[in-house]
Chains A and B, each alone.
Chain A
Amino acid sequence: MFEVKLKKKQGDFLVDTAFSTHTTGITALFGRSGAGKTSVINMIAGLSRPDTGLIRIHDTILFDSEKRINLRPYKRRVGYVFQEGRLFPHFSVKSNLTYGMKRIKGARRYIDFNKVVDLLGIGHLLDRRPATLSGGEKQRVAIGRALLASPRLLLMDEPLASLDAARKAEVLPFINKLPGQFDIPILYVSHSVDEIRSLADNLVFLVDGSTRASGPVETVAIRKDFKAVVGRQEHLPFTVLSSN
């Protein structure tokens, strides 16, 4: 059970969203550019603070404005795969991967190093430096690094947006394998309908900072307002679609 209720005023823009999921699969947070997707997951990760609201994963409360609970980001155990990877340039791939792993107590560590490395196919990269990796390799390492911190929840902020079509096709299958292999809810931010079609089980549809609808992909995707946004998007040329 993963529950989010957030309100935050940023200048003239109001983020006011609420959704919850019960499954451990991939939930897509979908909306056009500027719909407030990144604001929402930054609040979940603790990188920015909501005005009011509640963030709960199972029995653990990460944020509750009524009870005045606000866990610091490093205590939340929320994995975050950033759009630009954000690998540490001064560490090897291996040290990047183990950075979060080393910072979690053995008893809470439920994700195995070798399993992640095999699954993401990054075993041959361990001694390399991030600067020498291709875009697709970087994102696979970034996913591995977030997973190995044994998070309660995995956030992915358009992890494919900075990649070209060939690299997208390279990384997508690895993301698709995650829900079957690890028992973690995944919140996947995207404005690409293709990605959502191939990845998501659930869909949260965000318009101007507010949740318009949420639920299984099949039920949200047939809504008229959703189709309106998607339809407009699909008429756009691909280059515009893939940029952010």
Chain B
Amino acid sequence: MLNLTPIEIEALKLSLWVGFWAVTGSIGPGILVAWLLARKNFWGKTLVDGLIHLPLVMPPVVTGYMLLLVMGKQGVVGHWLFEHTGLCFAFNWKGAALASAIMAFPLLVRAIRLSMESVDHRLEQAAQTLGASPLDQFFTVTLPLTLPGILTGIILAFARSLSEFGATITFVSNIPGETRTLPLALYTLTQMPDGEAGALRLCIICATVALAALVASEMMSRRLNRTLKGDH
């Protein structure tokens, strides 16, 4: 019924692909950082917290430009990475995923951190008196009880990465099939004389995917809460 053109399908697929890798790559670091912020006190904690939240409050173009400076082929880290691992983030989908991941990271960390802070620390103590080492206790008590927050964080981060525009276009440009995700394709269509119908279709797709993600998250988190709290 929507009659998508191949170009639009390409943009949709690319968006899902970029979103998937952006989230997959940030779950591990996200949990680690959330744990540090929720459970540990260390020098410079406020600074770390601030740095993580920076992409949320800065213009996305700034984040994109900083990524270009640091992670581009001539960038300090980007150059080193390319020389030593062959990994390159410049002007390809990996760069788009990296930009999305950075932009979505504060939301991911925040959701996990809040959930982890609400885990009763006394349960962790109980696990320790039963012979669980800190790592063991983390994986058997803290992490399972944080699952609702991890799930919420994943969905939020995924939705955020689908809507990522500014940082992506600045960092990896607008290359069809490589970095032209849904928002970028939509922007491109609005710049074309006869692009209105296509732009409208992409609008509907964006809204549908985002809504589906939120509904799925709500349903899963309800089920998860029942299982964890164990009413039945």
Contacts and interface: CB of A to CB of B under 8 A. Distances in A.
Pairing of A with B:
yes
Interface of A: 45-47, 72-80, 82, 84, 86, 88-90, 92, 99-100, 103-104, 129-132, 145-146, 149
Most chain A C-beta atoms within 10 Å of own C-beta, residue among B120, B125, B133, B227: B125
Contact of A47 (B129, B136, B140, B230): B129
A179 B104 CA distance: 57
A146 B230 contact: no
B227 to A, nearest CB: 7
Most chain A C-beta atoms within 10 Å of own C-beta, residue among B129, B131, B141, B229: B129
A206 to B, nearest CB: 21
Contact of B229 (A80, A104, A131, A145): A131
A77 B230 contact: no
A83 to B, nearest CB: 10
Contacts, number: 78
Contact of B231 (A88, A92, A99, A132): A132
Contacts of A145: 130
Given A90-B228, A90-B230, A130-B230, 8 more contacts: A46-B129, A47-B125, A86-B123, A88-B141, A89-B229, A90-B145, A99-B140, A100-B131
Place the interface of chain B in its size category.
20 to 34
Interface string B131-166: 111101100110011000000000000000000000
B136 A103 contact: yes
Interface in B171-227: 227
A131 B232 CA distance: 9
23 contacts: A74-B128, A74-B129, A78-B129, A79-B130, A80-B129, A82-B122, A82-B126, A86-B122, A86-B123, A86-B125, A88-B126, A90-B144, A90-B145, A90-B228, A90-B230, A100-B130, A100-B131, A103-B131, A103-B132, A103-B136, A145-B130, A146-B129, A149-B131
